[in-house]
Amino acid sequence: MPAAAPVYLVENTCPGANVEECLTEYRAFFPTVLMKGARLMPGALDLLEKLRRDGKGIAVCSNKLRQFTTDLLARLNVQSFFGAVLGPEDVPHVKPAPDMLLLAMERLCVSREQVLYVGDMTIDIQTARAAQVPVWIVATGADSRATLEDARPDRLFSDLMELEHALGGRA
């Protein structure tokens, strides 16, 4: 796995920390808490089902190790909705570089014109901009709404139900 993903995480959440020590702790600790309290957000299953009915391809692009993401999707019983699940080990450069999103597009066999990137953090806005695709953000991640507004996504929503409503026939 490229060291860049966890290093990026550590450098941006623990400035000045010993990166190697933090990475060792992260790799040991994260799997022990990944599933605790894990649940789908309100509206998530309805949205996934709508996208499937509409024949839309869905991918996950996460700076978490792919295995962490696939384990979580399986635990939530939604893994079958995703045509691609990508992590930092799949690309040379992690988000906000566009590599992961471009690979997801390739695996789903879609062009930029067919893509809508949905995320919940500023890094997702940066990733979409780097890949030159539209980005809608649901303000449920670690960034404040004001921070997200300052990053200027194409659309900003409070929850997934709002996003599903906005998709309407466009999903």
pTM comes to 0.84
Mean pLDDT for the chain overall: 90
Cβ–Cβ under 8 Å, residues 28 and 148: no
**Structural domain containing residue 87:** 37-170
Any idea of the CA torsion for 24, 27, 32, 36, to the nearest 10 degrees? 120
The per-residue pLDDT for 11 is: 76
Asked if residue 115 belongs to a domain, the reply is yes
Q: Is the pLDDT of residue 2 over 60?
A: no
The per-residue pLDDT for 23 is: 80
Q: Is the pLDDT of residue 153 over 70?
A: yes
CATH number of the domain to which 145 belongs: 3.40.50.1000
Those residues whose C-beta lies under 8 Å from the C-beta of residue 165, and which sit 6 or more positions away, are none
Asked if residue 3 belongs to a domain, the reply is no
Asked if residue 156 belongs to a domain, the reply is yes
Asked if residue 16 belongs to a domain, the reply is no
Q: Count structural domains, the chain.
A: 1
Asked if residue 107 belongs to a domain, the reply is yes
Asked if residue 15 belongs to a domain, the reply is no
